[in-house]
Amino acid sequence: MPLMYELLKCWDDTEDRFIIKGGVLKFTTDEVVILTGLSNTGAEIIWQNKPLGGVLSTEIKSDMAKLSRSTDDSTMIRTFIMFLVSNLFFPLNSHKIPRKLVSIVSSLKEFSSKNWAWTLREFLVNEFNRMAIKFATKKPLGYINDFLPLLLMSAVGSENSRPGLRPIF
């Protein structure tokens, strides 16, 4: 992951931004909105310090594989949302899903009332900081959230494909 290493060198954890070739790329909630299409409205969710639940993200992957055209809409939507939350946006080393997230995803009304763009940004900033510290101290990076490299490469791709225009973040 040489590209990942190069990007981690550019992360400024004091300002939540990248400094690339002298240019400053702030990583804001609005940038997450642009990259993901998630809304920047609703209540903010603090879940990282909450207890983990008994549901595993690997079980959710298995549930996704079992869906078929005959699955009722509410089950399909709930399973898909749980997959996004547990496997794409907020995957954890332990594969356990925090109880707070399980509780929110269980109710579509509650799910839609939350600010997922802000929540995802906060999670990713913590990931950037964690990885940058490990990289700077030459420690093994270990598990890297799958969404993190995608987001970082998206920013670099935007910079290279749109010279003179503002990068995505």
Rg, Å, the chain Cα set: 17
Q: Per-residue pLDDT averaged across 123-129, rounded? A: 85
What angle do helix axes 116-136 and 2-10 make, rounded to 10 degrees? 100
pLDDT at 147 (0 to 100) = 59
pLDDT at 113 (0 to 100) = 92
What angle do helix axes 147-161 and 116-136 make, rounded to 10 degrees? 90
pLDDT at 158 (0 to 100) = 52
For residue 70, the 8-state DSSP code is T
Percent of the chain with pLDDT over 70: 82
Instruction: Indicate the helix (H) or strand (E) that contains 52.
Output: strand 52-56
130-155 pLDDT per residue, tens? 888 888 898 887 766 655 655 655 65
Model's pTM, two decimal places?
0.75
β-bridge mates for residue 24, sequence order = 19
